[in-house]
Chain A
Amino acid sequence: MHPCRARIVFPALMWATTVWADEAPLVDLALEDLARLEVATVSRKAQKLSETSAAVTVLTAEDIRRSGARSVPEALREVPGVSVTQIGAGRWAVGVRGYAGRFSNKLLVLIDGRSVYSPLFSGVFWEALDVMLEDVERIEVVRGPGASLWGANAVNGVINIVTRKATASRGGLLSMRLDNQGHPAVAVRQGVELGGAGALRVFAKGNELAESRSASGESGVDGNRGWLAGFRMDSAGSGTNAWMVQGNTYRRSSRENLQTSAQAGLPLLLPLGADLEGSSLVGRYTWGLAGGEASLQGYVDTQRIEAKNYGTGEVRTADLDFQHRLAPMGAHELMWGLGSRFVQTEIHLSTPALVVSPSGRKFNVASAFVQDEITLQPRLWKLTLGGRFEHSTMSRLEPQPNARLMWTPTDADSVWANWSRAARTPSVGEIDTQMFAGLHQTGNPRMPVVAMVSRPGPNWAPRAERLDALELGYRRGFGNGSFEAVLFHHDYTHLTSISLDPGGVVLPGVAGLVPAGVVPLQYLNRGNVGSARSTGLELGLDLPVTENLRLQASYTLMDIRAGRSSDPVTQASGEALEEASPHYWANLHGLLSLGRGREVDLMVRRVGAIGLGHVPAYTSVDLRYGWRVSRSFEFAVVGVNLFDPLHQEYAPDFVPSQPAYQPRQGFVQGMWRF
């Protein structure tokens, strides 16, 4: 059916291009009249992407507003190739091109140039990631390896959150929300002019997030509340050199239940509460250098996680990055950069299920990149060659080259082909932890149960996981809309996985894990023993149907196959990986303007079944009604998951949480500008 849909829609795209031909005699209008003219359809800035030889989606502030998103993951739901699954209140699994576990480790997330990728487990604590959405200028999503420009761990993709400059957020703003469960959210921002120097904004927000339900619809499954406060200062735009300083601090409390089946019969629920707090300070200076433009950025960041009764983890990061874009030399446009990052981690655990040794780590990552954009034939062919070299004291030198070829036969069409290699450096968690991985029923009456413990393999010299990616893409802009189709093939090697310890079962094993007493123990050795391949197709469409109605649709189809292994445990891990992501997901967003500032949005989302944990496929429908009453006040009423009383999006993988179900929800939101 998918090719069939494409066949019907495609002539529509062709047709749309002809619309531009006729031209109105607008040019004679006076300036005053121009400013009063209402625009029929605002184009979605597909142009800026036309020169990009990568699968990039840009969510603008307007896209985010119209989606009714309350958080970054919710806003990402409409991006093709990105799978967003809600684990529970404030807990998300976000993956690009698969690998969408809670600790999805192949995705780099940046907020204004600061990485929020945690070296503890190579992933993002979405529980703690909070931004003032009202001041986000755009979210850029790069699918596929973006390693040469962005840095390590940009394996499957990069999510780059860019907030507005302080010079573009003048005045005050107050935003308030209340959901049907009675959870409030408040955000305030005030912009201040700093004489001739620039501008400053200060902001603070606090919220309590909607809770999930248990399988039988009961509350008490989870919760998430917290606050964020910060500032951003930017220099006045008239100068040729620019600077920016920003800082923020936050604290969030998240609670969920751990579910153990240790007590035969009824599952036992243990509350798990976690407090996450952190602060960061970022500074950037941009100036002219050798006819080109250079920027130097530095930041410090600290994050602390305290899981009551289980332990604490702390990460401190200092990072310095230099980038230089040279003035074009003939057909070449060169860019290069250097980076250095210092990371210090400290983990203290008080649970026998998880042991970390050593408890503290300090490591450095040094990196260099260079990229050359070569115009082979002006306006037709462009070749980009790039490479990043990265050395971490926890791993080894990782060259990450890429080559991109782009053909732009017309102003509207772009076709590109990429080959790139990316690396994901192993995390502190992978290298240093020994973890209880569950009980295995053997079926052998003399040894009915064996405790499994995963640990770094005794002879393991950790190295980065590697991805070789091929991508073929086509993009077409037509008038106010665009269409995009991307085919990808990812080949992963040296994946961190586990294998059976050759020493076999150890006796007497471990005590105290189960009431039954001593259980024999089997070690599972962590090492770079896994491999996998994934293939997929991503389609995106933005179509202005009439002057009041616009449709945005995306569809992703993908398949992951793990490499076969003679080791039963590696093999089983591979099979779990194959079933960890849905094989397809789709989105349709209808944007309707009713005039005089009133608008209706209908969002339909279909996500395929996830084999791991048997999460069934589901369809969810959200509806939003917004009204811009005046320039200073607007409000929206949003219904989430309207036609479905309860659905599960995710089955717990790493942390054995109580499964959380998403109920029907609704909220009202008001925003005042002053």
Chain B
Amino acid sequence: MIRRLFGRLAFLIALNLGAGPAWTAEPPGEYQIKAAYLLNFARYVEWPAVRLPTGAPLRLCVLGRDPFGGALIGLEGRQVNGHEMRLRQIEGVDQAGDCHLVFIADSEERRLGLLLRGLAGKGVLSVSDTDGFAEAGGSIGLVVEDGRVRFDINQAALQRDGLRASSQLLRLGRNVLGVRGF
């Protein structure tokens, strides 16, 4: 009976996929929203002038396996507060020297502690969607809650790196860590 059940289900799935349009009309995917967040973080965070001189390009680097599936390409060349956004794929923290915003992919979860240590004090805004990223010492952790993408900010980590988050960013964060104890 179970054989038949599985067979029929597989068939239904195949049919459903064949129909196609249901997929293309779907609302934005998780990583499309997350890509939009990255652009906004670049807008609402201020880097020290030595780190990001006026008119210099703002580098967004992806560390690990790019989970955005092409959603980041739309950010390339965009103007953010007078800086042109550039994309880069990096393999390790040693290549992160000229990055301003580093997105750490889930694939790097096992070496997260090591990566955060390597990035600390380099004036890099670290963003990731691994579980508990902001609590682990990262700058901004993206979280999915109740079917929506939210973010946690670790204010202490930002201050350590000389970065300033705008009040608007702090207000919209789900949790702001590093103030009043956290």
Contacts and interface: CB of A to CB of B under 8 A. Distances in A.
A507 interface: no
B17 interface: yes
Contacts of A545: 13, 16-17
Given A50-B107, A165-B132, A42 B16 contact: no
Interface string B111-122: 101101110100
Most buried by B among A19, A47, A588: A47
A4 B10 CA distance: 10
Contacts of B73: 23
Contacts of B35: 26-27
A15 B75 contact: no
Interface in B113-147: 113-114, 116-118, 120, 130-132, 134-137, 144, 146-147
Contact of B181 (A24, A164, A195): A195
Interface string A78-89: 000000000000
B94 to A, nearest CB: 7
B92 A137 contact: no
Contacts of B39: 27
Interface in A230-251: 234, 236-240, 242
B172 A31 contact: yes
B178 interface: yes
A11 B130 CA distance: 30
A38 B148 contact: yes
Contacts of A138: 131
A196 B65 CA distance: 35
A325 B114 contact: yes
B1 to A, nearest CB: 7
B167 to A, nearest CB: 12
Q: Is the interface of B mostly helix, strand, loop or mixed?
A: helix
A199 B172 CA distance: 23
Contacts of B56: none
A38 B66 contact: no
Contact of A8 (B2, B14, B131, B168): B14
A451 B100 CA distance: 77
Contacts of A379: 91
Contact of B149 (A37, A328, A543): A37
B97 interface: no
A194 interface: yes
Interface residues of B, number: 83
Interface in B1-32: 1-3, 5-7, 9-11, 13-14, 16-17, 22-24, 26-32
Nearest to A628: B146
Contact of A328 (B3, B26, B37, B92): B92
Contacts of B109: 48
Contacts of B36: 26-29, 34
B103 to A, nearest CB: 12
Given A23-B70, A236-B177, A479 B29 contact: yes
A561 interface: no
A665 interface: no
Contacts of A26: 28, 32-33, 35-36
A238 B65 contact: no
Interface string A196-214: 1101000000000000000
A463 B10 CA distance: 48
A237 B106 contact: no
Contacts of B111: 325, 333
Interface in B67-113: 67, 69-71, 73-75, 78, 91-92, 94, 105-111, 113
Contact of B24 (A19, A25, A29, A52): A19
A131 to B, nearest CB: 17
B14 A34 contact: no
A80 to B, nearest CB: 14
A621 to B, nearest CB: 10
Contact of A288 (B117, B168, B181): B117
Contacts of A674: none
A379 B106 CA distance: 15
B21 to A, nearest CB: 11
B169 A31 contact: yes
Contacts of B78: 27
Contacts of B27: 37-40, 547
A36 B7 contact: no
A127 to B, nearest CB: 30
Interface in A1-42: 1, 4-5, 8-9, 11-12, 15-16, 19-32, 34-42
B30 A39 contact: yes
A619 B136 contact: no
Contacts of B2: 586, 604, 606, 619
A12 B13 contact: yes
Contacts of B70: 20-21, 23
A42 B2 CA distance: 29
B131 A39 contact: no
Nearest to B75: A27
Contact of A34 (B105, B149, B180): B149
B149 A35 contact: yes
Most buried by A among B44, B106, B157, B182: B182
A517 interface: no
Interface of A: 1, 4-5, 8-9, 11-12, 15-16, 19-32, 34-43, 45, 47-48, 50-52, 137-138, 164-165, 167-168, 193-197, 199, 234, 236-240, 242, 286, 288, 292-293, 325, 327-328, 333, 378-379, 411, 479-480, 543, 545-547, 551, 553, 586, 588, 597, 604, 606, 619, 628, 631
6 contacts: A20-B69, A21-B70, A27-B75, A41-B26, A237-B132, A292-B114
Given A24-B28, A237-B178, 5 more contacts: A5-B10, A23-B74, A24-B32, A38-B27, A588-B5
